[in-house]
């Protein structure tokens, strides 16, 4: 996904329409990795509860992704933040 595609996608989200996304260079690898594995979630009762780390690592091995320990840590942090944000949205909708 290109930066232009990311911006276009975020403009469709009410929470991001009036925001500017700044992606720091040191976070790019983890962010783009996250976008690549955004279909590898674990669900419980229809709600995302975690990124399937085993699947993420298997995917990384299969495509020979190069990543640092720091990229991995950032990916995990990003996935936890997304889960928390989606859980909050779900609670607000109830």
pLDDT digits (tens, 9 = 90+) for 52-67: 999 999 999 999 999 9
Mean pLDDT of the chain: 88
What's the pLDDT tens digit per position in 66-77? 999 999 999 999
Q: Are the C-beta atoms of residues 48 and 86 closer than 8 Å to each other? A: yes
Say if residue 34's pLDDT is above 70: yes
Predicted structure pTM score:
0.79
**What number is the average pLDDT over the span 80-93?**
90
Q: What is the pLDDT of residue 1?
A: 62
Structure tokens at 27: 């976070």
């Amino acid at each position: 996904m290109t930066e232009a595609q990311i911006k276009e996608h975020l403009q469709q989200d009410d929470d991001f329409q009036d925001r500017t996304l700044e992606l720091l260079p040191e976070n790019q690898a983890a962010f783009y990795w996250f976008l690549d594995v955004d279909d590898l979630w674990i669900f419980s009762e229809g709600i995302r509860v975690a990124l399937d780390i085993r699947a993420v690592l298997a995917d990384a091995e299969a495509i020979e992704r190069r990543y640092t320990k720091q990229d991995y840590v950032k990916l995990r942090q990003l996935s936890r933040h997304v889960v928390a944000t989606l859980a909050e949205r779900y609670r607000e909708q109830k």
